[in-house]
Amino acid sequence: MQTNFELKRHNTMKIFQAMRSRESVSRKELATLTGLSWGSVSAISAELLQKGIAVAEKEASAGGRPAERLALSPDKFLQLGIDINSVGLSFVVVNLQGKAVYSELLPIESRDKDDLLTLLYAQTERILLQTPSVIGINLSMQGKINKKTGVSLRTNFFKAWKDVPLVHSFERRFSIPTKLYHDPDCLLYYHMQNDPRLSGKNDGFVVRLDDGIGMSRLLGGRLYERGDDASYELGHTIAVPDGRACACGKRGCLEAYASLRGMREIYAEKSGEKAASFPEKLRTGDGLAQAVLREACDRLGVAIANLFTLSAPEFILLDGGLFAQAPYCFDEIEKNTRARLADDCNLLFAAYTREAPAIGACLITVEKTTEEILFGL
């Protein structure tokens, strides 16, 4: 049985979530959306206004008292999200509504750990000076992490990157609470909040196809998190026994064949040209580049079909930088997936949004932060 405190907390977050789903909303609409009584809605909305989490605006009416509509504050309790990925750095500032009020993409010119950290700190400092209302920093990081300690354990994409205490470093420098999340989890949370196709879904996967291959799971309608910080490693399942060397130390991993980095390396070996030329060759329709991409799509189709067969999820959604370079390859992956399945499948494609993981990192934190502001948790 819920205590009065637990019931109030539950109802408050219900109203908060309903307000996030609308640009603005009346108290009557909140009562309809949440199923709560008029009295509960009035009391909770008054507290949200008093704490500065919500703002009210008068709506013109034909007669009588002007109607009042409520919205989450657009410029208080902001969160900074940073996606640290080998394809580049993404910085966003997100408000309580989940909208990005600032975003910037930075290329990575050096793979050295110290150079990258220097760039991260300098850009973060500049943003915080411009946006003093930021109350939290949220890091989306590829590779292996420990969320409890805030340590990035390893990534194959940056030199000498091992056991980097990201949370401690950011909090020491900026004196702002900092969280560390695995980047596919951030991407999943972004889509859970923004993609109507996932509404009501309880079981599924998001696969991020970039220089690496990351994956996250929705289970029971929530982001699935194991207590030991282990993550799903679709990219390091074996596609070719004793095949190409992978940066993780094994041989034959799917990532060595079907990630952007894997494709670049295969193209360079077969063509004798620089790996960096692969994206341009794809754009100009180079035959060898297209063949490398088709082979990667075939291997991805096998892996995704196996995932459908093993887990029978309601959906698998594909996103990532691969589709920025070759958006048409989703059709090829879908064809290859369906060719290996006896039953139908719900394979979805998300139009690539570079800021999505950084926004998702903020969204994971927003609700918890709101509870802390309201209830001191």
pLDDT digits (tens, 9 = 90+) for 149-196: 999 999 989 999 999 999 999 999 999 999 999 999 999 999 998 999
φ, ψ of residue 81 to 5 degrees: the values are -110, 140
Kindly state whether residues 160 and 38 are assigned to the same domain: no
Per-residue pLDDT of 231-241, as tens digits, reads 678 999 999 99
Same structural domain for residues 63 and 88? no
pLDDT recorded at residue 127:
97
Kindly report the CATH number assigned to the domain that includes residue 53.
1.10.10.10
What's the pLDDT at 228?
58
Helix (H, G, I), strand (E, B) or coil at 259: coil
Q: Give the rounded percent of residues in the chain with a pLDDT score beyond 70.
A: 96
Same domain as 178, residue 233: no
How high is the pLDDT of residue 327? 86
CATH number at 135 reads 3.30.420.40
Residue 149: the pLDDT is: 94
Query: Residue 61 has what pLDDT?
Result: 59
138: which strand partners? 81, 179
Q: Are residues 31 and 107 in the same domain?
A: no
pLDDT of residue 64: 59
More confident call, 63 vs 216: 216
Q: Examine the pLDDT at 67 and tell me if it is beyond 80.
A: no
Are 158 and 203 members of one domain?
no
Contact 102, 58 (CB under 8 A): no
Structure tokens that stand for 159 in this block: 């030199």
Mean pLDDT of the chain: 92
The answer on 239 and 371 residing in a single domain is: no
Q: In the listed set 72, 99, 116, which residue is the last one of a domain according to the structure?
A: 72
> Tokens for 281?
């060759």
What is the average per-residue pLDDT within 108-121? 95
Does residue 143 lie in a domain region? yes
pLDDT in tens, 280-325: 999 999 999 999 999 999 999 999 999 999 999 999 999 999 998 8
Domain boundary among 72, 102, 131: 72
Q: What is the mean pLDDT of residues 75-88?
A: 94
Residues 203 and 315 in one domain: yes
Q: Could you tell me if 291 and 279 are in contact, meaning their C-beta atoms sit under 8 angstroms apart?
A: no
What pLDDT is attached to residue 215? 94
Measured between alpha carbons, how far is residue 5 from residues 9, 142, 365 in Å?
6, 38, 22
Q: Per the domain annotation, does 253 fall within a domain?
A: yes
194-11-4 Cα angle (round to 5):
155
Do 106 and 247 share a domain, yes or no? no
* Residue 231: predicted pLDDT: 66
Number of domains in the chain: 3
pLDDT at 223 exceeding the cut of 90: no
Task: Give CA separation, 342 vs 103, 122, 299, 336, 339, in Å.
Answer: 43, 53, 18, 13, 8
Q: Residue 270 sits in which domain range?
A: 199-349
Instruction: Please tell me whether residues 218 and 335 are part of one structural domain.
Output: yes
Instruction: List residues bridging with 214 in a β-sheet.
Output: 208
CA distance 300 to 286: 21
pLDDT of residue 21: 85
192 located within any domain? no
Rounded Cα–Cα distance for residues 377 and 373 (Å)? 8
Given a cut of 60, whether residue 377 has pLDDT beyond it is no
- Note the pLDDT of residue 100: 93
Taking residues 236-258, what's their average pLDDT? 94
Distance CA 276, CA 266 (A): 11
Return the axis-axis angle of helices 27-34 and 38-50, rounded to nearest 10°: 120
Query: DSSP class of residue 222?
Result: E
Q: Which two tokens stand for residue 184?
A: 């596919």
Distance from C-alpha of 188 to C-alpha of 259, rounded to nearest angstrom: 19
